[in-house]
Chains A and B, each alone.
Chain A
Amino acid sequence: MKTNSVERKYVMPGDVVIEGDHNPLANVIKSGNKIISTKIGMAEISYNGVRVIPLNGTYIPRIDDVVIGKVADMNGFAWEIDINSWFFGILTGSAVFGRQFSSSRDSMKSQFNKGECLIAKILSFDRTRDPLISVSGPGLGKINEGEITYITSSKIPRVIGKKGAMIKLIEENTGCRMTIGQNGAILLKGTDEARTKARNAVKLIGNQAHISDLNDKVISLISK
């Protein structure tokens, strides 16, 4: 058996992906001798194990993910950021103002206001608390211009492509600059025309069930 062969098939919740002694990796459960899918998606069976790449589902934060969100609310100590996930991302006052942060002295509103958008990074997330985010770092911070378009977060890898091939294809052919949020939000910068072309390309990717001919389809769309 070739160690790098991968078997793929469409699955739905409850479908037996494979029987036997295989390693359950993601979006599957092991029940007796069977590996069962818990999601709708593409199952991949390889030497490493069995996983299902979902075609839907809400974004689950992972440490170091870059995400794009908007300020939903704030209290005296932190901003609550809508990152299109189960919970709001928490941006603490001290993360922005530093350890000397004092809510009486430092104005939260002077930094981020309700409705403002930002590019952030996930600092931590575990089952016991809401995700903590940070806006310190290159490329992070408030978004002042551009347009944000959305796609199911599980399809973000397709927008990026193998080693960035797809995003490069779109940027070069449309003239639009793109910043990808792992949470399914994509920032588009450029002329109206550039952004429209890029937005349509993203939408096309989002509507495709499978990735065969995706490159050709995208090129054909944005060359019009």
Chain B
Amino acid sequence: MPAVKKHRIVDSITRESIISNLANSTRLDERGLLDYRNLEIETNILKDKTNGSAKVRLGESEVWAGIKVETATPFPDTPAEGVMTCNAEMLPISSQYIEPGPPNEDTIELSRVSDRGIRESGMIDVKELCIKEGKQVYSVYIDVAIINEDGNLFDAVSYAATTALLMADMNKFTIEDDEVKMLDEKQPLPIKSVPVSTTFAKIGDKIIIDPNADEQEIATARLTLVTDENGKYVSAQKGKPGGFTFDELKEISVISKEKGDEIRVKIREAVKNGS
């Protein structure tokens, strides 16, 4: 699309439609307030150059995640721990509102929230990423490319990264005569937990799940909440300059666990079909 300003503008007609539909507990795409859009997960989309990969379509939002496992020297204060980094890239191909160049605050927030969702859940046990203490550890890189943006990239990125990690493998190493040697044999990553992200938006006094781009734009507040398979809450981020009440937070936390469990089933299914 042509002449463009820096951010999305939802026109007044659409805005009013969204709000009046919400009053009847429906949404423009005929979903219920707590329904996710269609979720498609495809594994091994980048099998030739990555250790693991996945493509996720959540409604029209599309992201591709790729895992690269390399080796590195450990940080001095954690000599027996491996390293993990997660980086989400908002690409200019994905939207007319994304300019090429250094990441802006939204991109950085997306990246850091995705990173914490995986890190804080202990999904990857970094203690099991040690090859030779003080000398060599595994370094797991999770990079996610945003291909098409239509709201709720937080969840799309989370599902793609999680699936890719579950699909990933890495070379085994052995130590012979104090020398580290890489073997051809592969092993899966040390996965201890499967975190699932859920994102909510507040429009007026209604709470909806999985907002699309228009809904996200007119929402006053957004909440991403990540749970693991043991029902533990591991990561959260409120975004947008509005707020939630205590009751709303409690309600959201219940729904987050339910929906998280449903989506975890889909992720596990995709991994099972892909292996």
Q: Which residue of A lies closest to B2 (CB)?
A: A86
- Determine the main DSSP class of A at the interface with B: loop
Bound complex: CA A33 to CA B2 (Å): 35
Partner pick for B11 among A58, A73, A85, A117, CB 8 A cutoff: A117
A191 to chain B, nearest CB (A): 14
Query: Does A82 contact B3, Cβ atoms closer than 8 Å?
Result: yes
The yes or no answer to A121 lying at the interface (CB within 8 A) is no
Q: What's the least CB distance linking B18 to chain A, in Å?
A: 12
A-chain residues with CB within 8 Å of residue B17 when the two chains form the complex: 147
Q: How far is the CB of B64 from chain A (nearest CB, A)?
A: 26
Q: Tell me the complex Cα distance, A144–B271, Å.
A: 49
B3 touches A88 (CB 8 A): yes
Of B1, B2, B3, B15, the residue contacting A115 (CB under 8 A) is B15
Interface presence of A64 (CB below 8 A): no
| B13 close to A85 (CB less than 8 A) | no
Q: State A147–B16 Cα separation when bound (angstroms).
A: 10
B-chain residues with CB within 8 Å of residue A70 when the two chains form the complex: 9, 11-12
State the main secondary structure of chain B at its contact with A. loop
Nearest CB to that of B30 among chain A residues? A196
Q: Which of A145-165 contact B (CB under 8 A)?
A: 145-148
Q: Are B15 and A58 in contact (CB under 8 A)?
A: no
Are B3 and A116 in contact, CB atoms less than 8 angstroms apart? Answer: no
**How far, in angstroms, from A113 to B16 measured CA to CA in the complex?**
14
Q: Is A217 an interface residue (CB 8 A)?
A: no
A84 lies within 8 A of chain B by Cβ: yes
Residues of A within 8 A of B2 (CB): 58, 84-87
- Shortest Cβ gap from B128 to chain A (Å): 51
> Distance (Å) between the CB of B220 and the closest chain A CB?
15
Determine the distance from Cα of A86 to Cα of B17 in the docked complex, in whole angstroms. 28
A 126-143 to B, binary, CB cutoff 8 A, 1 in contact else 0: 000000000000000001
Residues from chain B with a CB closer than 8 A to the CB of A87 are: 2-3
Determine whether the beta carbon of A146 is less than 8 Å from that of B13: yes
Cβ–Cβ contact B13 & A117, under 8 A: yes
Known: A58-B1, A70-B11. 18 other contacts (CB 8 A): A72-B3, A72-B9, A73-B5, A84-B1, A85-B2, A86-B2, A87-B3, A88-B3, A115-B9, A115-B10, A115-B15, A116-B11, A117-B12, A143-B13, A146-B13, A147-B13, A148-B11, A148-B13
